[in-house]
Amino acid sequence: MTDAVFSLIPAHDLAIFVMAGLILNLTPGADVMFATAAGLSGGPRAGAAAGLGVGLGGLWHVGLATLGLSALLAAMPTALTLLRWAGAAYLLWLAWSSWRAGNAHLPQPEAISPARALWRGFLVNAFNPKVALFILAFLPQFTDPARGPVWQQIAILGLLFTLTGTMVTALYGAAAGLFRSALAARLHLLNRLAAGLLALLAIRLLRTN
């Protein structure tokens, strides 16, 4: 299996790709912001689950790119705009829910289902067309038709990028959850902060060209 991978993507190119991916993953973006908001709202388990959900959303986009559907979506401005507005509306709804919970009593982290954080993380990433466009712009730079089927190279690179991104995002979310535990007495501020992060994500998504 390893030989087959290296026959499609040389070890040197693979190492450069992983390093570049880690640098991008470690730079806080929309996925990290969402996982952080989830961690602040629900604790370390919810934050980590949100990171995993974001990763599953990334796999969704990698699958679409592998099948060539992301390129088709990018060529249809109307569909892309509708998808962006749907994702922004969902984020704003989450922000409003968090804002309204600003003065609620602090629940134990276990009381907030990690499954819900995972599902929300998936939806947020799956409804973000910017992720699809990024994959189309970033992954092909490390492919070469002379080495074999490009779709197989895209699939391998996409899986690696999603794996490293999921681990980094989950760590961010879990760390935010631990920070939240230390500031339990200020739950209303944490809920306000989570709401602000989610609203900022919605604005960023709407401003995507």
pLDDT in tens, 129-140: 778 777 777 777
Task: Give this prediction's pTM.
Answer: 0.72
Q: What was the pLDDT predicted at 187?
A: 56
Q: What was the pLDDT predicted at 57?
A: 93
CA distances from 66 to 54, 98, 117 (A): 18, 36, 27
Return the top range by mean pLDDT from 18-22, 82-86, 153-157. 153-157
- Contact 165/25 with Cβ under 8 angstroms? yes
- Contact 49/121 with Cβ under 8 angstroms? yes
Residue holding tokens 């003065």? 103
Cα separation, 46 vs 176, whole angstroms: 10
More confident residue, 103 or 117: 117
Distance from the first to the final alpha carbon of the chain: 39
Average pLDDT, the chain: 77
More confident residue, 26 or 167: 167
More confident residue, 164 or 130: 164
- Contact 71/116 with Cβ under 8 angstroms? no
More confident residue, 13 or 164: 164
- Report helix, strand or coil for 54: helix
